[in-house]
Each structure stands twice: as structure tokens, then as C-alpha cells.
Structure 1
Amino acid sequence: MQILPRLDADGASRNAIDMARTVIGQGGAVIAAARTGALVGEFRQAGGVHLDLPFESLSPLARWRIARQIRNTLGKHRIDVIHAYGRRGARVARRAARTMGIPFVVSPIGNDDRPPEQWISPDMGMADAIVAASPFVASLVPQTMLANGARVEVIPRGVDLPRFSPAMVRAEKLIRQAQEWRADDLPAVILMTGRLSPGKGHDVLLHAMARMKTRHATCLILSREDENQRYRETLLRLIASLQLEGRVRFVSHAPDMPVAYMIADAVVVPSRVPEAFNSVCAEALAMGRPVVASCVGDTPGMIVPGKTGWLVPPGDAEALAASLDEALTLGIPARAALAAEARAAIERAYSLADAQKHMLALYRDLTRPRRR
């Protein structure tokens, strides 16, 4: 069973679905206890069973009902292991696992509203294993937990390398997506994707765009039309005040992200706050795109400055502008060398297939009968 806040368009949900496919492919079954979100349909298509639970509710009665429903489900379906995501998932999983005698693992997840040191909760110390999506997350586990025997496994969420491969992008899909975004005749494209959230640093990017020397570049910001309307309006006002109309556009999410990355001449990740695993950065590098990213969280472990991309201080629009200018002025041989280095680095350290094997091995280890 997976327990997570919501099956939505975020890294934790994507990881949960990838693992569900793997477990089901091995002949197992997966139930996800989570609030309904954008990825519920995909989870069900993978063969998973969705249990819709209101984890955002804080009332004692709601918590009791959630706990009872999870215990009933655990007993009915003979669950072997519980995998919880985040602080609330860990709280629910700890109680259920203790009551039912089932091992549980927990994956801390990033939260823009909490500093990284609060990503780890006391409930996580009671898990049979803490699965860290990066060495950065592993470093957040308190020494007191480690001293008490907490088991920490670093298992990156990984990149689906066969899917995120330039060789797999078909020309007709590339042309169709570029036309849909009205990007087929743009001299240079900077791509930013991710949630519309202040922590992602959209405002820093806009100030950087105003400072760039490469004036012919257009920035495409991927977002859903109904996403965080108040923040979107704030950004639109900033675009107007910086006189960036025509140079910055909001575009719809692409159904095929490898195609979206191939349209970009540079991918930018200007986050103000750290992430547990920077999926955008890893995917863009796998696609051989020049990446300019903030030096926060696990991102410094992905990028080798000068070889596979650029790292800038978070919130530094001047440095971001300079690095984007440099990325966009790379010659063809330099871009080819960077693409090869970036792809090879992701293949070595962030293969989704390797991550899934590691996670399956952990599940099997925890469910293996122990000698008394």
C-alpha cells in the first residue's frame, strides 16, 4: 500500500506510479491511499487501486475514520508492506503498521511551506526504512534518529531513460508541439516547467530575462490554465512592468515532456527553495539540454558546472541572466559535448530501472521472514 497526500502532478506521485507499475509488472498489487488528483487516471491505468482519503483534514474524527479505513483495507487485501510519503503519510502509516504488524517505509517529500530540516518528522524515525530521494534528503535525517538505529536508503526517483531520450522523439510530434506553442519560428527558446509556486522562482527568472543580453530569446513557462491564478496574475503584472510582453509566454503543459524539452535551447530551474529530487533538471539533462539551475537541494549533485550545465545562487537574477546568455551562445560542438556529458551522467546515477530494482530489493528484504 502507498499512502501519500494526493495523486497529483508532482514528483512523489510520479514516483508512486512508477513503483506501482513495477510491482504490478512483477505480479503484485498496489493500493494507493491518497486524495484524488491529476494522476489518478494514470495510476488506475497502470493497474493500481485508488482509495480516496481526505488527508488534508485535520479533525480528530477525520483522522480516526482514515485510520479505520486503512486498517480495514490492510486486513482485507493482505498487504505486505506500506510505503508512505511525507509527514502525514508517515503518521498514518506508523499507526497502521504498528496495529497490523506490517513493515513500513517512508519517503520524505519537499514542501515549499517548510524548511528542509522539517521534512523529517519523528514518525519517520519509527519506519523500518527511510527512503531518501537524494543524498541531500539523507543528510536531513537527525543524528538522534541515526543513533537509535534508523535505516536510511538513498534511492533517487530516477529518469525513464528509454522515454527521455533524444533519439526517441519523432519529428512530427516535435513540429506539432512547436506549432501549438507558436514556437516553430522562434530564434531561441528558454523553457521553464514545474508548479506555479513562489518557491519555484518564476519572479527571479523574469528579472533575469530583463537583464539578458540575448534579447531574441523567448521564455515559455509551462502551466495549467487553472493553476494558482493569483500567483499567475502577479507574474503577469511583473511581466508588464518589466516590459517583457512577447518575450515571456505561458503555455499549456505538453502531453509528451521529452518533446517539450527538445524544443528548448535551454532549460531553466530557478528555484528559491530546495527539492527532494529535481526531476526537471534530471530529465532535461537526460535529453541533452543545457540546464541553468539554482544551487539548492540535490541539484548541485546533478550538474557539473561547465560540463553539464550551470549553477547559480538562488534568487540571483544577475547570475541567472549571465548563465542563460552563456548557454544560448554555445556553439554546435560545445552543445554536442555538453549533451553527451549530461546524458552519460544521468545514465550513471539516475536510471529509473536501477532505482526500481533497489526499491523492490528493499521491499523484499523487509517482508522476508526473520530467523528468531
Structure 2
Amino acid sequence: MSDQNYSYYEALNSEDTTTDFDFFKPSIGDKPPTIMQVLPALNSGGVERGTIEISKALVSSGWKSVVLSNGGSMVDELMDSGGVHVNLDIGSKNPLNWPNNYLRLKEAVYQYDVSLIHARSRMPAWLSLNVAKSTEIPFMTTFHGRHNDTNLLKKFYNSVMTRGQRTIAISKYIASEITQRYPIHPKQLSIIPRGVDTEYFNRKTVSEERINKIKANWKIPENIPIVMLPARVSRWKGHELLIESLAKLKDQLFFCVIVGPFDGKEKFKSKIEYLIRTHSLCSKVKFVGDCSDMAAAYSVADIVISASLDPEPFGRTIIEAQAMGNIVLASNHGGAVESIIEGKTGWLFEPRNSAALSDSLKNALTLTEHKRSIISNNAQEHIKEKFSTQLMCMRTLSVYSEILNLK
């Protein structure tokens, strides 16, 4: 590492302007640490994206990155950026598979001379914890979401995420949930919010070609404010609440797109479509399905909504939309409270209250261009300063360094 004998957090607090990934590079002659991240699979999702981002940061810092999972669509990206992938169905809940998975995980730890195991899911964490104990290497976790303790057995199963040298919580909200439910020492807990790639989620880097493709595919009308709900179709994501809110604004000019997958949720999607018809909103609201180019999608939108009925553990779309300069409205609970500065970078509304969301929407739809520009600029600067991918990666590497006692 840098010959400065303080952590990245201390460097950051002292406003050290030289702090980038070079800060973590091993000194000449030192053996680079090897970090193994363990999760069920590497398909699309926030956990998987974070795993890839940390792997890239490790490689950029001169460390070695190993990811163990059951594979998926993101394996090529991992390997192309210098990470190593070990294929194993580590997330299997079949007890017959556990002995073999334990042995193969242990073999991989020895084969790649792993310095630390970082588990990102509960089943992989149990195996990783026991392998770490038997090989005498550090073990840590990231607590990505809310795990319901419906009974004592479930609570014990979930508790593995607090049994390492360190637990990362992705928000203050999740940290609070952890400390209320489990006997964890404050020094074991680090709060590291998710990050957003501010180069990718940047209006200046989105081409007109990409924007026009989205507009054409979704048949977006011109010269009308575009409202977007980016969320998988699921009851708790607030689709019904949004439709009820929009029904109160029929006299307002807007077009709403609901972006997100609905595989396995066709019945609920049909219920939402019926609600749309009932409120005579067919010409104003449209399901467009999943989207592989969310930066272009946000570029089409004016207002982005997070209407979750239950608290979001963090709320990735909220920081993505702010990074893009959208006007963001979100339920006033969970991680959203931490990433939106009320009235400055967006607005929070009372959860599960369609009238409150309707009022927030009306306010957003009637903003002057000057006010909209101020909110947009504030939001972009806020995300760059507090929620960038680079900052998230540096904070995580700092935790690795502290656990490994690197100087």
C-alpha cells in the first residue's frame, strides 16, 4: 500500500487529493492480497453489479480478485477486467450438496492463496464461514437487504451475515435493522452505500442515437413531461399507488412509462393494467418491460419515482436517476431518506399515501425550468460527491486493508 500509515477513511477525511486506487497498491516486493467474493450467481442485479465493481477496483489496485459463484451473464465482464471466476453452485440449499461445496470452496481458497473471503449471500456465507475458520483466514459479509426473522430458526440462518470480522451494511437503515436484531459490536459494522457509475449515468455521455432508439421503441410522445417508474413488477414496489396518484392528475399533461421485468408476475401486471383502464389512463400510462440501457431511459424521463410500499434497503434507481439529473420523488422511508436531500435534490412523500404522491407529482410537473435546472444540478453534484462507484470501492478496499492489517 501507500507508505502513508493511515487508512483510506483518514485520508479522505483529511481531504488528501491523491486518494485513488494507487493508494492501495502493494509496495514493491510485497505480496498482493487476494480477495475472494462469494455469491450464488453472476446474473444481473445490484449485488452482482457491486461484485464486478469491487473486482475491477481490486485489479486496478494491484490486488488479485477471485469470484466464486454458479456463473451467469456477467462472468465474461468479470474475466475481461482481470478477475478470476470459480464455478460452483455455492447457493444450493440442498444439504446433499453442502459437503462437496465445502471441499471445493476450501480447495479454491488454497489454490488461489486467498487472503480474505467476502460473502454476499446467506447460504454461501455459512460455507465460507466454516472454510475461513478451517483455513484461518478472515471472513466478512455484506448485508444487502432486509431478511425477515419469521422464527428462531430463520433468525439463526440470517445471523451468519453478522458472524465475520466485519459486516458491511449498504445503508444506515440496514445498519439499524442489523443492530436491532443481532448482537453485533459497533466496530464490526461498516456502512458503505452502494455506488453509481457517474460516467455511465451521465446525460453528457448518452448519445442522441441511444435516446432516439428508446423513444422509438417505447413510442414516447414529443413535448410532454415523461414520468417513469423503474421497478420490477411487484406488489411492494408501489405500482398500484402510482396509478391511483396519476388518476388524481388527469387534467395534467404527462406520459408515464413503467420500466422493469414482469416475469412470473403476469397476474399482478394484468391487475395493474385493469386499474389503468378503470381510471381511463390507457393513453397516459404504458408498460415497456425491461431495459438494457437505463442511462438512455433516464435521459428520456423528466420525473423518476420510487413508490415502494416497504422501505428500500438502499434504492439503486434513486441514485441513478439523480446522477442523470432527473427530478426524483421517493417514499419517505428506508434508504431513500439517506440519498435524497429534501427540496434540494428531490422530494420525499408519505409512504403508501396516493394523495401525498399526487401532490409531489403535481409540484414536480409544474416546476419552472429554472427551478428544475437547480434541482437537477444539485442532484448530480450530490451523487458525485457521496455515492460514486469509485467512493464505494475505495471504502470497501479500506475495510479489506484494515482487516488484513495492511499498512
**TM-score scaled to structure 1, two decimals?**
0.89
Compared with structure 1, are the counterparts of its residues 369 and 304 closer, same or farther at alpha carbon in structure 2 (3 Å cutoff)? closer
Contact 1:129/1:151 (<8 A) preserved: yes
Q: Are 2:351 and 1:319 aligned?
A: no
Distance in 1 separating the partners of 2:233 and 2:383: 26
Which of the residues 280, 285, 288 maps onto 1:243?
Answer: 280
Displacement of 1:337 in angstroms is 0.8
Which of the residues 203, 206, 213 maps onto 1:166?
Answer: 203
Which of the residues 194, 197, 216 maps onto 1:157?
Answer: 194
Distance in 2 separating the partners of 1:114 and 1:17: 29
Q: Are 2:167 and 1:130 aligned?
A: yes
Contact 1:3/1:34 (<8 A) preserved: yes
Displacement of 1:284 in angstroms is 0.7
Contact 2:323/2:383 (<8 A) preserved: yes
The residue that corresponds to 2:137 in the other structure is 102
Deviation larger for 169-178 or 152-161:
169-178
The residue that corresponds to 2:376 in the other structure is 339
The residue that corresponds to 1:46 in the other structure is 81
Distance in 2 separating the partners of 1:36 and 1:198: 29
The residue that corresponds to 1:29 in the other structure is 64
Superposition CA RMSD, Å? 2.6
Compared with structure 1, are the counterparts of its residues 152 and 249 closer, same or farther at alpha carbon in structure 2 (3 Å cutoff)? same
Which of the residues 157, 176, 183 maps onto 1:139?
Answer: 176
The residue that corresponds to 1:91 in the other structure is 126
The residue that corresponds to 2:107 in the other structure is 72
Compared with structure 1, are the counterparts of its residues 186 and 44 closer, same or farther at alpha carbon in structure 2 (3 Å cutoff)? farther
The one-letter code of the counterpart of 2:58 is V
Distance in 2 separating the partners of 1:6 and 1:243: 42
The one-letter code of the counterpart of 1:245 is C
The one-letter code of the counterpart of 1:293 is A
Compared with structure 1, are the counterparts of its residues 293 and 137 closer, same or farther at alpha carbon in structure 2 (3 Å cutoff)? same
Contact 2:59/2:65 (<8 A) preserved: yes
Q: SS at 1:24's partner residue?
A: helix
Contact 1:110/1:274 (<8 A) preserved: no
Q: SS at 1:121's partner residue?
A: helix
Distance in 2 separating the partners of 1:93 and 1:196: 33
Distance in 2 separating the partners of 1:327 and 1:197: 25
Which of the residues 187, 211, 234 maps onto 2:271?
Answer: 234
Displacement of 1:145 in angstroms is 2.8
Distance in 1 separating the partners of 2:144 and 2:296: 27
The one-letter code of the counterpart of 2:184 is L
Contact 2:146/2:174 (<8 A) preserved: no
Which of the residues 17, 30, 40 maps onto 2:52?
Answer: 17
Q: Which runs of 5+ in 1 are unaligned?
A: none
Compared with structure 1, are the counterparts of its residues 102 and 47 closer, same or farther at alpha carbon in structure 2 (3 Å cutoff)? same
Q: SS at 2:330's partner residue?
A: strand
Deviation larger for 222-231 or 347-356:
222-231
Distance in 2 separating the partners of 1:201 and 1:217: 19
Larger radius of gyration: 2
What percent identity do the matched residue pairs reach? 29
The residue that corresponds to 1:220 in the other structure is 257
Distance in 1 separating the partners of 2:156 and 2:212: 42
The one-letter code of the counterpart of 1:110 is G
The residue that corresponds to 1:350 in the other structure is 387
CA displacement, residues 51-88 of structure 1 (integer Å, 9 cap, x when unaligned): 44445532221222222221121111111111111333
The residue that corresponds to 2:21 in the other structure is none
Compared with structure 1, are the counterparts of its residues 281 and 102 closer, same or farther at alpha carbon in structure 2 (3 Å cutoff)? same
Q: Are 2:239 and 1:211 aligned?
A: no
Q: SS at 1:6's partner residue?
A: coil
Number of paired residues? 368
Which of the residues 353, 359, 367 maps onto 1:330?
Answer: 367
Which of the residues 146, 160, 185 maps onto 2:222?
Answer: 185
Compared with structure 1, are the counterparts of its residues 118 and 298 closer, same or farther at alpha carbon in structure 2 (3 Å cutoff)? farther
Deviation larger for 42-51 or 172-181:
42-51
Distance in 2 separating the partners of 1:67 and 1:181: 47
Which of the residues 35, 38, 54 maps onto 1:3?
Answer: 38
Deviation larger for 156-165 or 290-299:
156-165
Q: SS at 2:40's partner residue?
A: strand
Displacement of 1:270 in angstroms is 0.4
Compared with structure 1, are the counterparts of its residues 6 and 94 closer, same or farther at alpha carbon in structure 2 (3 Å cutoff)? same
The one-letter code of the counterpart of 1:324 is L
Contact 2:91/2:124 (<8 A) preserved: no
Displacement of 1:45 in angstroms is 3.6
Displacement of 1:335 in angstroms is 0.3
The residue that corresponds to 1:288 in the other structure is 325
Q: SS at 2:270's partner residue?
A: helix
CA displacement, residues 228-255 of structure 1 (integer Å, 9 cap, x when unaligned): 3333333333333333222221214333
Displacement of 1:300 in angstroms is 0.8
Compared with structure 1, are the counterparts of its residues 30 and 146 closer, same or farther at alpha carbon in structure 2 (3 Å cutoff)? same
The residue that corresponds to 2:345 in the other structure is 308
Displacement of 1:4 in angstroms is 1.8
Distance in 1 separating the partners of 2:357 and 2:157: 31
Contact 1:108/1:119 (<8 A) preserved: no
Distance in 1 separating the partners of 2:156 and 2:216: 41
Compared with structure 1, are the counterparts of its residues 243 and 92 closer, same or farther at alpha carbon in structure 2 (3 Å cutoff)? farther
CA displacement, residues 103-144 of structure 1 (integer Å, 9 cap, x when unaligned): 1221112148679x9699322332111111112222222266
Q: SS at 1:5's partner residue?
A: coil
Deviation larger for 309-318 or 33-42:
33-42
Contact 2:41/2:72 (<8 A) preserved: yes
The residue that corresponds to 1:262 in the other structure is 299
CA displacement, residues 138-181 of structure 1 (integer Å, 9 cap, x when unaligned): 2222266334x651111111121222222222223222221222
Distance in 1 separating the partners of 2:347 and 2:157: 29
Distance in 1 separating the partners of 2:116 and 2:277: 52
Distance in 2 separating the partners of 1:24 and 1:214: 54
The one-letter code of the counterpart of 2:64 is A
